[in-house]
Amino acid sequence: MALQPKPGILDIAPYVGGRAETAASAHPVKLSSNENALGASPLAVEAYRAAADRLHIYPEGSARILREAIGESHGLDPARIVCGNGSDELLSLLAHAYLRPGDEALFSAHAFLVYRIAALANSARPVVAPEKELRVDVDAMLACATPRTRLVYLANPNNPTGSYLGRDEVRRLHQGLGPHVLLVIDAAYAEYVRRDDYEAGIELVASNDNVVMTRTFSKVYGLAGLRVGWAYCPPAVVDVLGRVRGPFNVSAPAQRASAAALKDRAHVEKSVAHNERWRAWLIETIRAAGFRVDDSVGNFVLIHFADPRESAAADDFLCARGLVLRGMKAYGLPHCLRLTVGAEDANRRVTAALAEFRSGR
């Protein structure tokens, strides 16, 4: 009998990140991966470089420097924080720790692709709840929960739709799940949200034994290349993750740079202000060109086209001008492109190109 992986592995479509290249341009403008248009904090860059003379030394295994910095920044107990190689690693580790063959992992349609991958990699069944107008539907999520549901992923805000659930709806979702179900709130874009009814998940984790919140340094902090994420967890989940995560899973330079980034509040506020201004401008300008664009609380917008063919034609048209967006076929939205909020010049170029594409149709 030929060598075979465990059930579920061969059902996984490998994750493909936002592309950067385009055959038509030597210097493409990458607007496909929701990266920070302003880059990393100068303090983070300086801290990263300062760590270069100790590259022969293993990092401290628990990421204590970073956990303490996160705790100080957010008013949290560092003992309840687990750091990872991006929040992706933590999302996968939670599935590895809590999903058994035959269990179910529940998430909404158009949610982050890693959720499905994590479920299948652990021989569990991914269960997809329908959304209502590209927004998580709590009633639909609860209707899809069964006695086999062990893990629920909630991206809040959600990528790629840009929508979010208010705190009351998140709490209603949690209350409708059994104590044997782990609710994982993926708050990768939390820093960008400026809405009174939004809560990233800290309060819910603090008062419950079956909720975890994950965060990342890849977005507002501009450290996507370093791959650093963290989770705020109940003590029992911290213990479990400590048993299954790899040793030294966050490099020493990455820890130092991330800790420094937390201290640069001015850079974070500048990044958020830039995003607020240009996201609103992009939505207004692209709508004026005749496209449907959904409201968003992230650092990206979702552009709708008439059908998948028009979306593909627009993608080709933009790529020919060195502008790289993200196609949404893998997310079940083949008629859409996702556009990251970029620097001013990139934003103006992409809107001009979209208007040109529309006028030529």
Q: CA 136, 142, 145, 147: dihedral to nearest 10 degrees?
A: 160
Neighbours of 182 (CB within 10 A): 24
What own/partner pairs with CB < 8 Å and gap ≥ 24 does 61-68 have? Answer: 61/247, 61/248, 62/242, 63/249, 63/250, 63/255, 65/255, 65/256, 65/259, 66/228, 66/230, 66/250, 66/255, 66/258, 66/259, 67/230
Would you call 143 helix, strand, or coil by DSSP? helix
Same-domain check for residues 207 and 271: no
Together in a domain, 227 and 92: yes
| Cis status, amide bond into 160, omega within 30 of 0 | yes
Same domain, 349 and 243: no
Identify the domain boundary among 206, 234, 264.
264
Which of 16-25, 122-131, 156-165 has the least mean pLDDT? Answer: 16-25
Of 264, 296, 321, the last residue of a domain is: 264
Counting Cα atoms < 13 Å in the Cβ hemisphere of 166 gives: 4
The answer to whether residue 245 sits within a structural domain is yes
**Per-chain mean pLDDT for the chain:** 95
Residue ending a domain, among 221, 246, 264, is: 264
Going by C-alpha positions, the residue among 164, 166, 211 that lies closest to residue 184 is 211
Residues 139 and 250 in one domain: yes
The answer to whether residue 172 is domain-embedded is: yes
CA 334 to chain CA centroid, Å, is 20
Helix axes 265-288, 344-359, angle to 10 degrees: 10
The answer for residues whose C-beta is within 8 angstroms of residue 159's C-beta and 6 or more apart is 34, 112, 188, 189, 298, 300
Give me the CATH number covering residue 212: 3.40.640.10
Domain check: are 102 and 173 in the same one?
yes
Residue 4 lies in a domain: no
Tokens of 240: 């479990």
Question: Which pLDDT band holds residue 138 (cuts at 50, 70, 90)?
Answer: very high
- Shared-domain flag, residues 95 and 220: yes
Beta strands 29-30 and 323-324, pairing class:
parallel
Q: Cis (ω within 30 of 0) for the bond into 5?
A: no
216 and 116 part of one domain: yes
Beta pairing class for 81-84 and 29-30: unpaired
pLDDT at 26: 65
Mind giving me the DSSP string for 298-349? SSEEEEE-SSHHHHHHHHHHHHTTTEE-EE-GGGT-TTEEEEE---HHHHHH
26: which 2 tokens?
């030597």
Structural domain of residue 134, as residue ranges? 42-264
The whole-number pLDDT of residue 13 equals 83
Q: Same domain, yes or no, for 308 and 242?
A: no
Q: Same domain, yes or no, for 184 and 279?
A: no
Q: Count structural domains, the chain.
A: 2
Rounded to 10 degrees, the C-alpha dihedral 110/13/188/342 comes to -80
The pLDDT value given to residue 14: 82
Comparing 1-15, 246-260, 265-279, the range with the smallest average pLDDT is 1-15
Q: Is residue 2 part of a domain?
A: no
Query: Would the pLDDT of 266 be above 80?
Result: yes
Residue 302: closest CA among 270, 258, 332 = 332
Residue 174 lies in a domain: yes
Whether 250 maps to a domain, the answer reads yes
- 19: domain CATH number is 3.90.1150.10
Q: Is residue 244 part of a domain?
A: yes
Q: Are residues 70 and 166 in the same domain?
A: yes
For residue 110, name the pLDDT band (cuts at 50, 70, 90).
very high
| pLDDT of amino acid 7 | 87
d(CA 174, CA 328) in angstroms, rounded, equals: 29
* Residue 260 and residue 270 in one domain: no
pLDDT for 280? 98
Reply yes or no on whether the pLDDT at 215 is more than 80.
yes
1 in a structural domain: no
Q: What pairing do the DSSP bridges indicate for beta strands 323-324 and 125-129? A: unpaired
- The H-or-E segment that residue 287 falls in is helix 265-288
Mark whether 100 and 194 lie in a shared domain.
yes
Band (20; pLDDT cuts 50, 70, 90)? low
Query: Average pLDDT for residues 304-318, to the nearest whole number?
Result: 97
- Per-residue pLDDT reduced to its tens digit, 33-82: 999 999 999 999 999 999 999 999 999 999 999 999 999 999 999 999 99
Of 112, 257, 117, 108, the residue nearest 189 (C-alpha)? 112
Helix, strand, or coil (residue 216): strand
